[in-house]
């Protein structure tokens, strides 16, 4: 690997320019993501519950708007797995508490580790 002394000034200036551009783009993305979070919060936490409640109360399934239809769908989803849920379900199959503890330990310690590399900007 090159050391700092072996890098010519043209390469170094190009590198510095790329880093500066990356930092500027990262800041722009951060600002836009903050705006998006605020808009999503308003849309999903405030407006959507009020709209779906009204539609359910008055038995409205579809709504025509200038931008197309809105439909009030009902969706049933399962909660994500957690330690308590896994332990509770395993106790229905494994009665021996020692085996249960071994199974829980195995489940949570033998997970595949994937290594990726990403540039981040630490918070100040």
Sketch the domain layout of the chain as residue ranges.
7-76, 78-118
Task: Give yes or no for a contact between 25 and 36, defined as CB atoms under 8 angstroms apart.
Answer: no
Max mean pLDDT range (31-35, 59-63, 88-92, 104-108): 31-35
What is the spatial distance between Cα 9 and Cα 17, in angstroms, rounded to a whole number?
A: 12
Residues 85-114: tens digit of each pLDDT: 888 889 888 889 899 899 998 888 888 888
Mean pLDDT, to the nearest integer, of 50-71?
A: 89
Alpha helices in the chain (DSSP H): 9-41, 48-57, 83-91, 97-109
What is the rounded average pLDDT of the residues 21-25? 96
For residue range 112-124, list pLDDT tens digits in order. Answer: 888 877 656 677 6
Model confidence, pTM: 0.54
């Amino acid at each position: 690997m090159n050391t700092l002394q072996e890098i010519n000034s043209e390469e170094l200036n190009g590198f510095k320019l790329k880093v500066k551009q990356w930092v500027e783009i990262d800041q722009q993305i951060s600002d836009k993501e903050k705006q998006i979070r605020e808009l999503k919060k308003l849309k999903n936490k405030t407006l959507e519950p009020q709209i779906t409640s009204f539609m359910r109360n008055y038995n409205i399934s579809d709504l025509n708007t200038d931008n197309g239809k809105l439909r009030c769908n009902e969706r049933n989803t399962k909660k994500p797995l957690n330690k308590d849920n896994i332990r509770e379900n395993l106790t229905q199959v494994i009665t021996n508490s020692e085996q249960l503890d071994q199974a829980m330990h195995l489940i949570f310690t033998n997970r595949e580790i994937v290594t990726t590399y990403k540039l981040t900007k630490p918070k100040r």
